[in-house]
Amino acid sequence: MFAVPWIAIFLAAPATWSSAFRWLALGLLVAGYGAALANGQLDPAAAVAVALLLTAAYAVSPRRKPYVQYIGHTLFIALAIALSMHWLPGFHNPRVIGPERFTADAVPFTMYLNLDKPLPGFWLLLVLPWVRPPHELLTSLKAGVGGMLMTTAACLLIATLLGLVAWEPKWPSVSWLWLLNNLLLVTVTEEALFRGYLQGGLSRLLKQWPNANALAICVAAALFGLAHAAGGWQWIMLGSIAGVGYGLAYRFGGLQAAVLAHFGLNVTHFFLFSYPMLQSTGQS
């Protein structure tokens, strides 16, 4: 349901974001959510979140007065938090995996196809093209692969030493569904928000400051780590370390590079190590 609009929005270069493309992307998005409404996965209460996102989009337009733009960004941030935490009504996210153990010693894993959490990512890619600065394809690939290797080595080594995961290669039968969901509805969403919006926005705001880019990377990485607080201090630390790697990938290769680095780490974790973590760790 979401694959077509995500791929269309993400792969289009910012320079080609014509009015025709925006209408096409919006049409695909409406069709996808319309199908969810018809299937009972949305109800009319979800219109409140959509209306508020449209209000925020109107407010952040460069044509608005600065104070109106500030209000729009504040509204968007509040909505992004609420949608990510599943606090707003009207969304009935279908469970598509689990609870299922991928290995005998792993915590049971459950996955939902979230209808609410990806909305801030759609909003960002449609409303704020600056979250995806233009980079040459080769530059993005180099930055993305470098970020992926750095974060994968650091995070999975530390996670192994902490006893969070162990070497356990596997290919679960639901791998294709996990891959699509993790790329289109998790990785792209999180990178658009944490790297494109938070890191990119801070870099723009603080551009007159010395070391503005480094500060933006660290702040976005710390917030990304805190977003993993449900897993405990270990996952906050690992999320923050990963956030620095993704931030460097974004800094030198744009959003595509950050997504490549993030998705590469997630794929390595899923297929080669305990997923999501060892059972003994989950019970501690």
Q: How confident is residue 164, by pLDDT bands cut at 50, 70 and 90?
A: very high
Amino acid sitting at position 257: A
Q: Are 24 and 106 in contact (CB under 8 A)?
A: no
How high is the pLDDT of residue 115? 92
Q: What is the pLDDT of residue 29?
A: 79
pLDDT at 9: 41
pLDDT tens digits along 143-160: 999 999 999 999 999 999
Model pLDDT for residues 95-125, shown as the tens digit of each residue: 999 899 999 999 999 999 999 999 999 899 8
Q: What is the mean pLDDT of residues 19-28?
A: 70
Domain boundaries, the chain: 3-42+91-282
CA-based Rg of the chain, rounded to a whole angstrom? 19
What is the value of pTM for the model shown?
Answer: 0.90
* Cα dihedral sign, 3-270-238-282: positive
Q: List, for residues 232-253, the tens digit of each pLDDT value.
A: 999 999 999 999 999 999 999 9
Exposed, middle or buried: residue 243 (CB in 10 Å: 0-12, 13-18, 19+)? buried
